[in-house]
């Protein structure tokens, strides 16, 4: 049963679906909407993603914090507030309690969204890319809280890998150390977000939503640590960024980043913006194609899981 508190509000539709087990539910991350996509297109994308979930017969639960309270499922006006971005912070799971204290509003990252989805009784979650280990980790110790949260939260996350601006092999190594299972969906290679193949192998390949549901049931039946399951779903081949263009522009972006002395939280937005501008928007289209594919697959997994 979902653990409702004054700080966590389920929309009527989501609450009904979760409590009665009548309809599958898919949690959707909001950071991608507020901080990952250009306005005003981000609002149309947010609505489109909810529509993709509904088209499969599942209930979308976009998750965000408004005025200190976590919302699982947003209405139109709430979604518009998140997309407008005014005073909308970026909230990981550790930020939820402080946000409640000061009545802050924010979009939730993978860690914040997965944490809230699990508390609300929503098992399946779709996003674009996970946070991970940053390339300059040895000096900055910058590893996203996403990874450790997923090591102790029972959700199934559908993603297109991690953005290539991160250290992909190191991120996969951390997931192994943390004991988080990774399934390649129709692939034996970890996806590279904008491109189908990061060049890194994955140990397990599945081919159908039902296979993922079996893995989820096995996780529960076997017991043990309440870890997540990652479903790594590559962007469709026709919609991927040209891999040569990707490699060249990423190398230029990384050089520009260190030349201009960009550090800390500013690094990711800098690199992503550089990619969008220097691929004439093609990286944005590949990003959107990956997210759409993940949301559709998550809806099918949630349906197989609730069957
Ligand atoms: N990966 C992306 N784009 C993003 C994010 C991840 O390709 O916008 C967001 C997600 O919300 C992810 C968060 O959970 O960034 C990780 O941020 P941090 O590294 O600060 O934990
Ligand atoms: Mn970080």
pLDDT per residue over 193-228, tens digit each?
Answer: 999 999 999 999 999 999 999 999 999 999 999 999
Predicted local confidence at residue 286, as pLDDT = 96
Q: Mean per-residue pLDDT for 94-117? A: 98
* 126 belongs to a structural domain: yes
* 80 belongs to a structural domain: yes
The Cα 283–Cα 195 span in angstroms is 9
* 236 belongs to a structural domain: yes
Long-range contacts of 96-104 (CB under 8 A, 24+ apart): 96/7, 96/65, 96/70, 99/65, 99/68, 100/7, 100/68, 100/69, 101/68, 102/68, 103/67, 103/68, 104/65, 104/67, 104/68
Is residue 38 scored above 60 in pLDDT? yes
Q: How far, in Å, from the CA of 68 to the mean position of ligand 2?
A: 22
Output the residue whose Cα is nearest ligand 1's atom 11: 109
Q: Mean per-residue pLDDT for 10-37? A: 93
Question: Does 237 participate in catalysis according to the annotation?
Answer: no
Question: How many structural domains comprise the chain?
Answer: 1
The CATH code of the domain that includes 142 is 3.40.1790.10
Q: Mean per-residue pLDDT for 73-79? A: 98
Report residue 136 as tokens: 């300059």
* 3 belongs to a structural domain: no
* 182 belongs to a structural domain: yes
Ligand 1 atom nearest 29 alpha carbon: 11
The Cα 280–Cα 85 span in angstroms is 24
* 1 belongs to a structural domain: no
- Count of CB atoms within 10 A of residue 103's CB? 11
Predicted local confidence at residue 160, as pLDDT = 98
Ligand 1 atom nearest 35 alpha carbon: 8
Q: Mean per-residue pLDDT for 123-135? A: 96
* CA angle at 5 for the pair 84 and 53, rounded to the nearest 5°: 50
Give the CB-side neighbour count of residue 169, counting CA atoms within 13 A. Answer: 2
The Cα 207–Cα 173 span in angstroms is 24
Is residue 3 scored above 70 in pLDDT? no
Q: How far, in Å, from the CA of 129 to the mean position of ligand 1?
A: 7
Percent of the chain residues topping a pLDDT of 90: 89
Predicted local confidence at residue 39, as pLDDT = 94
Question: Does 163 participate in catalysis according to the annotation?
Answer: yes
Is residue 164 scored above 90 in pLDDT? no
Tell me if the bond preceding 40 is cis, omega within 30° of 0.
yes
Task: State the catalytic residue, choosing from 13, 29, 48, 239.
Answer: 29
Is residue 55 scored above 90 in pLDDT? yes
Predicted local confidence at residue 197, as pLDDT = 97
The Cα 137–Cα 170 span in angstroms is 9
What's the residue count for the chain?
307
Look at 2 and 304; give whichever has higher pLDDT. Answer: 304
Site to substitute for ligand 1 among 131, 158, 276, 288, most atoms within 8 A of C-beta:
131
The interaxial angle of helices 41-55 and 76-84, nearest 10 deg, is: 140
35-44, 161-170, 257-266: the lowest-pLDDT one: 257-266
Centroid of chain to Cα 24: 18
Predicted local confidence at residue 225, as pLDDT = 94
Phi, psi for 253 (deg, rounded to 5): -65, -40
Ligand approaching nearest to the C-alpha of 137: 2
**DSSP SS3 for 274:** helix
pLDDT per residue over 262-274, tens digit each?
Answer: 987 788 889 988 9
Predicted local confidence at residue 157, as pLDDT = 98
Residue-number span of the structural domain to which 137 is assigned: 8-306
């Amino acid at each position: 049963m979902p653990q409702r508190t004054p700080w966590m509000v389920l929309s009527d539709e989501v609450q009904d679906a979760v409590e009665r087990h009548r309809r599958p539910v898919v949690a959707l991350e909001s950071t991608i909407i507020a901080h990952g996509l250009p306005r005003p297109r981000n609002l149309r994308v947010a609505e489109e993603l909810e529509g993709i979930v509904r088209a499969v017969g599942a209930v979308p639960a976009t998750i965000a914090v408004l005025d200190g309270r976590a919302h699982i499922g947003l209405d139109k006006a709430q979604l518009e507030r998140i997309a407008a971005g005014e005073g909308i912070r970026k909230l990981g799971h550790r930020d939820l309690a402080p946000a409640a204290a000061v009545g802050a509003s924010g979009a939730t990252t993978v860690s914040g969204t997965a944490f809230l989805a699990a508390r609300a009784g929503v098992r399946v979650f779709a996003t674009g890319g996970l946070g991970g280990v940053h390339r300059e980790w040895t000096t900055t110790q910058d590893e996203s809280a996403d990874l450790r949260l997923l090591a102790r939260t029972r959700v199934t996350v559908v993603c297109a890998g991690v953005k290539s601006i991160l250290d992909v092999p190191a991120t996969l190594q951390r997931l192994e150390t943390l004991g988080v299972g990774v399934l390649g969906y129709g692939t034996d290679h970890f996806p590279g977000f904008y491109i189908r193949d990061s060049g890194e192998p994955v140990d397990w390949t599945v081919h159908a939503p039902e296979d993922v549901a079996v893995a989820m049931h096995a996780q529960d039946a076997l017991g043990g640590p309440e870890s997540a399951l990652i479903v790594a779903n590559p962007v469709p081949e026709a919609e991927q960024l040209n891999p040569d263009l990707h490699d060249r522009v990423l190398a230029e972006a990384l050089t520009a980043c260190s030349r201009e002395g960009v550090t800390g939280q500013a690094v990711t937005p800098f690199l992503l913006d550089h990619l969008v501008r220097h691929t004439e928007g093609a990286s944005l289209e590949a990003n959107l194609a990956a997210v759409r594919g993940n949301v559709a697959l998550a809806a099918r997994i949630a349906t197989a899981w609730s069957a």
